[in-house]
Amino acid sequence: MPTYEYKCKECGEFETTQKMSDPPLKKCPTCKGKVERLIAGGGGFVLKGSNWVSKMSSPGEDPKKKADRFMKQTVGEVAEDIAKHSPRPGKFH
């Protein structure tokens, strides 16, 4: 559930966790005064999917699987490095 920031004229700013489908708060939970929901910078992001390669290992991971994941990461980094530093087709140095 996301965390929303509110501002109360009496109490100041506070955060509360609500479902996205919940309506915005209208009253401060402390003093029952009027509140205004603020626009926040946001949380972060979550990388999902089978193409995301992590250098982190998990406990009890098979050593072969760990080596394969590390090799994919290393090959990917080398390929990116080559792409960055190789001359573009049609351009001569």
Query: Tens-digit pLDDT profile for the chain (93 aa)?
Result: 788 899 999 999 999 998 989 999 999 999 999 999 998 666 666 666 666 555 555 666 677 776 666 666 666 666 676 777 766 665 555
pTM over 0.75: no
Q: For residue 82, report the phi and psi dihedrals to the nearest 5 degrees.
A: -65, -45
Residue 7 has a pLDDT of 94
Domain ranges of the chain: 3-37, 53-86
Residue 2 has a pLDDT of 83
Largest separation between any pair of C-alpha atoms in the chain = 71
